[in-house]
Structure 1
Amino acid sequence: MSDPRLTPDPALASQSRAAQVAVPVADLCRRPDGPRDRQVLFGEQVTVLHEASGWAYVQAEKDGYCGYVLQSTLGTPRNATHRVCVPATHAYVSADLKSPDLLSLSYGARVTVRAETKDFAETPQGHIPRGHLAPIDSHEEDPAQIAALFLGTPYLWGGNSRWGIDCSGLVQAALLACGIPCPGDSDQQEKTVGAPVSGAYQRNDLLFWKGHVALVVDGETMIHANAHAMAVSYENIADAIARIEAGGDGRVTAHRRPGV
Structure 2
Amino acid sequence: MDSRLTPATDRVALQSLRGQLDRPAFTPGRPARLAVPLADLLNAPDGRRDRQINFGADLTVIEDRGAMSFVQAALDGYCGWLPGAALSFDLPPLTHRVTAPATHLYPGPDMKLAQTAALSIGARLSVTGTEGNFARLASGDCVPLPHIGDTPAPDPAAVAETLLGTPYLWGGNSRAGIDCSGLVQAALTASGIPCPGDSDLQRAAFPATEAIRRGDLMFWPGHVAMALSPDIMIHATAWTMSVITEPIPQALARIDAAGDGPFLGARRPT
- List per-residue Cα deviations over 1:106-150 (Å, max 9, x = no partner): 001011112212211111152111111112xx2111110000111
Counterpart position of 2:124: 110
Distance 1:125 1:150, change over 3 A: farther
Counterpart position of 1:158: 171
Rounded to whole Å, the distance in 2 between the matches of 1:129 and 1:35 is 34
Rounded to whole Å, the distance in 2 between the matches of 1:18 and 1:237 is 43
Q: Verify: 1:67 aligned to 2:69, yes or no.
A: no
- List per-residue Cα deviations over 1:172-207 (Å, max 9, x = no partner): 1111111111100000001112x11113x2001110
Query: Is the CA contact (8 Å cut-off) linking 1:204 and 1:258 kept in structure 2?
Result: yes
| % identical aligned pairs | 48
Distance 1:37 1:166, change over 3 A: same
Query: Which amino acid in structure 2 is aligned with residue 224 of structure 1?
Result: H
Distance 1:33 1:217, change over 3 A: same
Q: Verify: 1:227 aligned to 2:238, yes or no.
A: yes
Counterpart position of 2:19: none
Query: Is the CA contact (8 Å cut-off) linking 1:190 and 1:254 kept in structure 2?
Result: no
Tell me how far 1:78 sits from its aligned partner.
2.6
SS in 2 for 1:5: helix
CA RMSD in angstroms comes to: 1.1
Rounded to whole Å, the distance in 1 between the matches of 2:102 and 2:60 is 26
Q: Verify: 1:255 aligned to 2:266, yes or no.
A: yes
Query: Is the CA contact (8 Å cut-off) linking 2:220 and 2:264 kept in structure 1?
Result: yes
Rounded to whole Å, the distance in 2 between the matches of 1:115 and 1:141 is 25
SS in 1 for 2:12: coil
Residue ranges of structure 2 left out of the alignment (5+ in a row)? 14-25
Counterpart position of 1:198: 210
1:50 to 42, 63, 66: 63
Counterpart position of 2:113: 99
- The 5-angstrom pairing of residues 1-260 of structure 1 reads 2-9=1-8, 11-13=11-13, 14-15=26-27, 16-76=29-89, 77-123=91-137, 124=139, 126-135=141-150, 138-193=151-206, 195-199=207-211, 201-259=212-270
Residue ranges of structure 1 left out of the alignment (5+ in a row)? none
Aligned residue pairs, count: 254
Rounded to whole Å, the distance in 1 between the matches of 2:6 and 2:128 is 36
- List per-residue Cα deviations over 1:18-65 (Å, max 9, x = no partner): 110011100001111101001110000000000011110110000000
Rounded to whole Å, the distance in 1 between the matches of 2:72 and 2:216 is 28
Moved over 6 A (4+): none
Query: Is the CA contact (8 Å cut-off) linking 2:42 and 2:49 kept in structure 1?
Result: yes
- TM (normalized to structure 1)? 0.95
